Amino acid sequence: MKEVILVGLNHHTAPVEIRERISFPEEELDRYLKALYDLPSVAEGLILSTCNRVEIYAATKVPDKGVEEIKAFLAHQHHLSVPEFENNLYVLQGEELVSHVFRVASSLDSMVVGEPQILGQIKEAYRTAHTAKGTGTLLNKLLHKAFSVAKRVRTETSIGNGAVSVSFVAVELAKRIFANLDEKEVLIIGAGEMCELTAQHLVRGGIKKVLVANRTEKRAVELAERFHGEAIPFSELPHALLRADIVISSTGSQDVIVSKKDVSAIIKKRKNSPLFFIDIAVPRDIDPQVNTIDNVYLYDIDDLQEVAEANIKDRQHEAQRAEEIVSTEAKQFCRWYQSLEVIPTIISLKEKMEKIREKELGKTLAALPQLSEKERRALEALSEAIVKKIIHAPISLLKKESRNSEGETYVDVVQKLFGLDEE
């Protein structure tokens, strides 16, 4: 019987330097999924790669082998050795895995509890894997249930009220550097969802003007128009840095796009006017060394944790209610999963008993040819009643115990007692 395993790392277990080396570029995810599905032990698979986490979900009949193959897969795809990141990994199975997936989807494991982006990211990861025909019964059921649990958490708690995303935290940091945003200009590098959310928060905060630079000019123009801002050709990025007071960067680039050398030259032309960078990309867009330049302030995704923690405190009560929902739902899901093995065992037991009944009844009837049709039917009914009474207790026990963690043990016992494992 297949089991779901999860191998991953996140902002709790790995610094950004490790996460960015393990991350999977969105535009190449199909290629990585194909390589994942080529692993001998992986029957179903999904890759979730965000700023804060990289997780691989897989259904397999050999969990231990599956874990080792996935570790080797991560190493091979990113040109690393397993020891370079193994200590940052977590490996989950069973109820612990189910609970984790539900918590992630419900934004209980996010850097900022209650942020809504992660659910969309999981849905997109699932959609990509499903389109690639890489999901089956187990992952389909697990992910759809996770979406349902996330919706229930949002509906029954206030954890999402005044949603605080990483982009909102970035704006809070900007306000710490600049007391007043009214006369400031912000340059958004990248035009994805995170950048759009950041722009929304900044406009609400009173920012004077929004500049947008993106490799796809059409997308930059669309986003700039939405905020009555200005699209900047990506080739004119240095000129835009001269104008901007705040730079928010979140592209999918695998390389640094703003170097220390670039910023050193720009800050002189700015006559040392402060320049504030927030790099919310993984891998990072901004060279970390720019933080050594006078009047330049740089925060990366991990630096946002400080502000995030303050926001988390305001949500602890609602988060506790959400945790209770997740716990209940995880237990129910695991009961469903355990029942998957109970049902075939019950069917096998009934079929074996019926074969024995028919065989023995046939022998008896053959030895008693003088019996009337009424007597033959009576013997048939008697044999059926005896079999039902014999298997009633083990079947009832299996159904009952399938609801708890001992269900698998009882399945094994019944299979051995009635010789079902030999067939």
pLDDT tens readout for residues 365-376: 999 999 999 999
Decide if 396 is inside a domain: yes
Nearest to 281 by CA among 299, 301, 296: 301
Looking at the structure, tell me whether residues 173 and 231 fall in a common domain: yes
Mean pLDDT of 2-6: 92
- Among 288, 306, 324, the domain boundary falls at 306
Decide if 346 is inside a domain: yes
Q: Is the pLDDT of residue 163 over 50?
A: no
Looking at the structure, tell me whether residues 18 and 155 fall in a common domain: yes
> How high is the pLDDT of residue 208?
86
CA gap 222, 229 in Å, rounded: 10
Q: Hey, what are 285's tokens? A: 């867009």
Q: Is the pLDDT of residue 421 over 70?
A: no
> How high is the pLDDT of residue 408?
67
Looking at the structure, tell me whether residues 12 and 113 fall in a common domain: yes
Instruction: Write the Ramachandran bin of 50: left for phi over 0, alpha for psi from -120 to 50, otherwise beta.
Output: beta
CA gap 316, 311 in Å, rounded: 9
Decide if 148 is inside a domain: yes
Looking at the structure, tell me whether residues 140 and 174 fall in a common domain: no
- Residue 411 CA: distances (Å) to CA of 1, 160, 387: 12, 42, 19
> How high is the pLDDT of residue 415?
82
Cα 411-414-420 angle, rounded to 5 deg: 100
Residue found under tokens 């897989």? 58
Indicate which residue of 4, 36, 51, 67 is catalytic. 51
Q: Is the pLDDT of residue 418 over 90?
A: no
- Among 162, 195, 226, the domain boundary falls at 162
Nearest to 85 by CA among 17, 32, 4, 24: 17
Q: List pLDDT tens digits, range 46-94.
A: 999 998 999 999 999 999 999 999 999 999 999 999 999 999 999 999 9
Mean pLDDT of 91-110: 95
Read off the pLDDT band of 117 (50, 70, 90): confident
Looking at the structure, tell me whether residues 12 and 151 fall in a common domain: yes
Decide if 238 is inside a domain: yes
Looking at the structure, tell me whether residues 108 and 206 fall in a common domain: no
Report the DSSP pairing between strands 90-93 and 3-10. Answer: antiparallel
Looking at the structure, tell me whether residues 101 and 170 fall in a common domain: no
Q: Is the pLDDT of residue 118 over 70?
A: yes
Q: Is the pLDDT of residue 311 over 70?
A: no
Q: List pLDDT tens digits, range 354-409.
A: 999 999 999 999 999 999 999 999 999 999 999 999 999 988 888 887 766 566 67
Q: Is the pLDDT of residue 281 over 70?
A: yes
Q: Is the pLDDT of residue 112 over 90?
A: no
- Among 306, 323, 349, the domain boundary falls at 306
Looking at the structure, tell me whether residues 211 and 193 fall in a common domain: yes
Q: List pLDDT tens digits, range 224-272.
A: 998 899 999 999 998 999 999 999 998 888 999 999 999 999 998 988 8
Looking at the structure, tell me whether residues 116 and 189 fall in a common domain: no
CA 87 to chain centroid, in Å, comes to 20
> How high is the pLDDT of residue 43?
94
CA gap 319, 23 in Å, rounded: 28
Contacts of 379 (CB under 8 A, 6+ apart): 361, 364, 365, 371
Nearest to 9 by CA among 61, 74, 66: 74
Average pLDDT, the chain: 89
User: Is residue 195 among the annotated active site residues?
Assistant: no
> Quick one: what percent of the chain has pLDDT higher than 90?
61
Q: Which one-letter amino acid corresponds to residue 84? A: E
> How high is the pLDDT of residue 296?
94
CATH code for the domain of 128: 3.30.460.30
C-alpha torsion sign, points 17, 117, 193, 162:
negative
Decide if 158 is inside a domain: yes
Decide if 20 is inside a domain: yes
> How high is the pLDDT of residue 146?
97
- 220 sits in which H/E element: helix 217-226
Decide if 233 is inside a domain: yes
Looking at the structure, tell me whether residues 277 and 262 fall in a common domain: yes
Instruction: Give all strands (DSSP E) within 146-199, no chain letters.
Output: 185-189
Nearest to 364 by CA among 389, 386, 391, 396: 386
- Count the domains in the chain: 3
Looking at the structure, tell me whether residues 133 and 93 fall in a common domain: yes
Q: Decide: 150 and 210 in contact? Cβ < 8 Å.
A: no
* Domain extent for 240: 166-306
Read off the pLDDT band of 199 (50, 70, 90): confident
CATH code for the domain of 288: 3.40.50.720
Looking at the structure, tell me whether residues 345 and 282 fall in a common domain: no
Decide if 87 is inside a domain: yes
**Listed range (122-136, 167-181, 282-296) with the worst mean pLDDT:** 167-181
Q: Hey, what are 325's tokens? A: 């929902």
